[in-house]
Chains A and B, each alone.
Chain A
Amino acid sequence: MINFLSKLLLLLLLPLPFSYAQLVPIDDIGMSEATGQAFIAIDQRTEGSIDFTKVSLGIDAEMLINADLVEFGEYARSGESLGSDIRLENFALGEVLSDGTIAPFKIKDPFIELAFEKNSDGSGGIQQDLVGIRLGFGKAKGAFTADIKSLSGKLEIALEGSLQPIKDTATGIAWLATRFMSGNTQVKSTAVLVDEVGIPDGIRAHLIGVPKGTAIECAGSGSCGLAGLLQYFTAGEGFSSSCHILGIGVCYELSTYRTLEIGDNIGRDSDGNILRTANGGVASADYSDGLFLSFQSKAIEWTDSDVITHDGGFLNIPEGGIQVNFEQALHGTDRQRTRYIDPYFN
């Protein structure tokens, strides 16, 4: 009796750990839901004597960021007066709208790419010399804000809008020539990175302008009356001095374009101004392809890009990504609000 009770007491005193987790077999239906393709892709490609190794990330990113200074390639470069390949001050991606909401800068599918050139290794074999590195974004859209002090790379601004701002600032022969043209005529041209005399120059540029040999043309499909004559006056040639078309200045400081809206098919009004929502955001825009930053020791045509980069730092801002009217071309674009407390806004 004592033994039995003692054992009973012991049993009651001892904790009894049972496992209550029931293991369930995985059936085949459950297992088949696992998918394979993830967000990293690695590719190799050869073009001519250059091999490219590219790591792509399936990533969507949106951001509002600010930096005091973004500078690449600060070194002395022969034939150049500016000190850096790329120098952007008071840089921001994205903007703060008037009601305090954020319109972020959006990026899809960034990638890193390395370029290797196959050269002889001096003993009969081949060595892979790394000649370039590129950080790119498959697609991008949003507000790109900076005081651009120096830019190397490719930036094209589509100029399109009414003739009126040109008429208003024309002097001399240009004043006379444009008197009888209708200010409402829609005209267009293209501005690229140029040097002080209007020659296209993608290395350490601080000017963007209608390059030598390019004219202002009709934008509409029909005739644009007397304004159609402008197409015969190319910048920097004939009657026009360098960086001018008939006395109309066509080269502009990059730093006057304080905010550039990157995107394709941005909704605009008839005057070329961006259509904005009540709180100041861009009403409609698609993504642009081809934004990238690269360093290379020689000219390279990177994969999926018809841009041939020069050596050094190179920032490629997508073609068709930026458009201004002639009012903005002549006077620059306003800086958007990029911080909640923004000393540079207004």
Chain B
Amino acid sequence: MKIIITVLSLFYLQAVLALEPLGENEMDQILGLGGVYLSGDLTINDVGGPLNESGAEPGDAWQQDCAASTNERCGARIAVRTNNTSGWIVLDNLRGRFSFEGLTLKTRLIDSGFDNDGASSSDGASFDRDVFEIGLPNTMNFSNVSYTLANSNKARPTEVGFKQTDIFNVKIDGNVSLSGNLLLFPTGNP
């Protein structure tokens, strides 16, 4: 009993302790190590999806073989609109597999370089601040990624009077080279 009360009291006390911000001097003393290395693999509706029901019974799922089929119900659909009384801009039949390896995240101090290949003064020297660096993965792999850009007058195909006009289809299959770093840092006067 006493143990329970003591333990519960500790929880209570912790909730009352206020968080105090670290001062700038204290923050300066903190040094990070390394960064983060990410690999990713995203598959969308590659082998079907929750709407892929053609049977009479609920749960008669995966009746279409979406690996082979180009049936429109195999893909995902995203619809957006900019006016709450207007039609929709649609990404339809969204499906496929997208993967990458070697996306890095780290912080970095820049105090040199960025001198227009030696032709101008160094932006880095006058910048002299930390940035958040996202290292791009050099290669991204698209495996039968496809989507259709369309307009529709209703949000969902199941609505009465639905009409959609497909504008074009895009299909990407293979590698794309994407290398370099994306640097992020605050701007403006805080």
Whether A and B touch (Cβ < 8 Å) is answered with yes
What residues make up the interface of A, taking CB atoms closer than 8 Å to B? 2, 23-27, 30-31, 33-40
Contact of A33 (CB < 8 Å), options: B51, B164, B168? B164
**Do B164 and A26 touch (CB < 8 A)?**
no
Which residues of chain B are within 8 angstroms of A33 by Cβ–Cβ distance? 157, 162-164
Q: Which of A23, A31, A36 has the most CB of B within 10 A?
A: A31
Could you give, for residues 153-167 of chain B, a 1 whenever the CB lies within 8 Å of some chain A CB and a 0 otherwise? 000111100111111
Which residues of chain A are within 8 angstroms of B166 by Cβ–Cβ distance? 34-36, 38
**Do B157 and A26 touch (CB < 8 A)?**
yes
**Do B168 and A40 touch (CB < 8 A)?**
yes
**Do B157 and A30 touch (CB < 8 A)?**
yes
Which residues of chain B are within 8 angstroms of A36 by Cβ–Cβ distance? 166
Once A31-B72, A31-B73, A33-B162 are accepted as A-B contacts, the answer to whether A23 and B50 lie under 8 Å apart by CB is yes
Which residues of chain B are within 8 angstroms of A27 by Cβ–Cβ distance? 158
A-B contacts besides A26-B51, A30-B157, A37-B165, 11 pairs, CB < 8 Å? A24-B51, A26-B73, A26-B157, A33-B164, A34-B150, A34-B163, A34-B166, A35-B163, A35-B164, A38-B165, A40-B168
CA–CA, A104 and B160, complex, Å: 36
Which residues of chain A are within 8 angstroms of B157 by Cβ–Cβ distance? 26, 30-31, 33-34
**Do A39 and B164 touch (CB < 8 A)?**
no
Whether a CB of chain A sits under 8 angstroms from the CB of B53 is yes
Residue of A nearest to B50 (CB): A23
Which residues of chain A are within 8 angstroms of B159 by Cβ–Cβ distance? 30
Which residues of chain B are within 8 angstroms of A34 by Cβ–Cβ distance? 72, 150, 157, 163-166
The 7 A-B residue pairs with the shortest CB-CB distance in the complex, in nearest-first order: A30-B157, A38-B167, A34-B164, A25-B53, A23-B50, A33-B162, A30-B158
A sample of 10 cross-chain residue pairs with beta-carbon separation below 8 angstroms, ordered by A number, consists of: A23-B51, A24-B156, A25-B52, A26-B72, A26-B73, A30-B159, A30-B162, A34-B150, A34-B166, A36-B166
Which residues of chain A are within 8 angstroms of B72 by Cβ–Cβ distance? 26, 31, 34
